Chain A
């Protein structure tokens, strides 16, 4: 079953603008991960944030995690047309089944030149 929800479901922005998407989950987690998927392709790992971390950066990506609210956000700064893709959050919930991920519904991002 899916762990949680993402919003917005879809986001359309212009190049150079920032894109923010949010993810909520339901249970305790070990970590939360963000992935990108281009249409019809496999997933690319973007960033992992552990449950004891609050913020993490990687290039133009910034991820926050609020375990009290069971939510996370992904910010893409200075977006590019190549950032057009679907973005998924995924949570690693358990310690007895390491690596088993539950995915959110995803946010479809379109960046227009």
Chain B
């Protein structure tokens, strides 16, 4: 089946720095990808929709200037957490829809971000 990868799988950074997370569709093209955030013991919360060739659309309450999304190609979306703070520490997961399917999503393995 289709595979979505994320890089890095985990990252530790200091407060105030920026961190970039990549999401790649390995064997299919994805004009749309989604970014989720998951805090420990909680569910996934949709952050934004990444659109190839146009601006990302953000969910209510998600700061677009803090979480920069760039859909650089049909196989790559990046999420940059700018000026990271400890409360940004979370598990970030991307997904891409199975265009040929009925609505299933292929999820990346996630990126664990820890801000110290």
Contact = CB atoms under 8 A, between A and B. Distances in A.
A binds B: yes
B101 to A, nearest CB: 8
A61 B71 CA distance: 36
Given A1-B60, A97-B49, A98-B103, A103 B44 contact: yes
Given A48-B104, A99-B97, A40 B112 contact: yes
Interface in A82-113: 88, 90, 92, 97-106
A99 B34 contact: yes
Contacts of B80: none
Interface of B: 6, 32, 34, 36, 42-46, 49, 57, 59-60, 91, 93, 95, 97, 101-110, 112
Nearest to B108: A42
A40 B42 CA distance: 12
Interface in A11-36: 30-31, 33, 35
A101 B43 contact: no
B102 to A, nearest CB: 6
Interface string A52-89: 00000000000000000000000000000000000010
Q: Is the interface of B mostly helix, strand, loop or mixed?
A: strand
Interface residues of A, number: 27
B104 to A, nearest CB: 5
Nearest to B30: A99
A50 B102 contact: yes
A24 B112 CA distance: 29
Contact of A98 (B43, B60, B91, B97): B97
Nearest to B110: A42
B46 A100 contact: yes
A98 B103 CA distance: 8
Given A2-B45, A97-B57, A100-B49, 15 more contacts: A31-B102, A33-B104, A35-B107, A42-B93, A42-B107, A45-B107, A48-B102, A99-B95, A99-B97, A101-B44, A101-B46, A101-B95, A103-B44, A105-B42, A105-B43
Among A41, A44, A100, A104: residue with most chain B CB under 10 A: A100
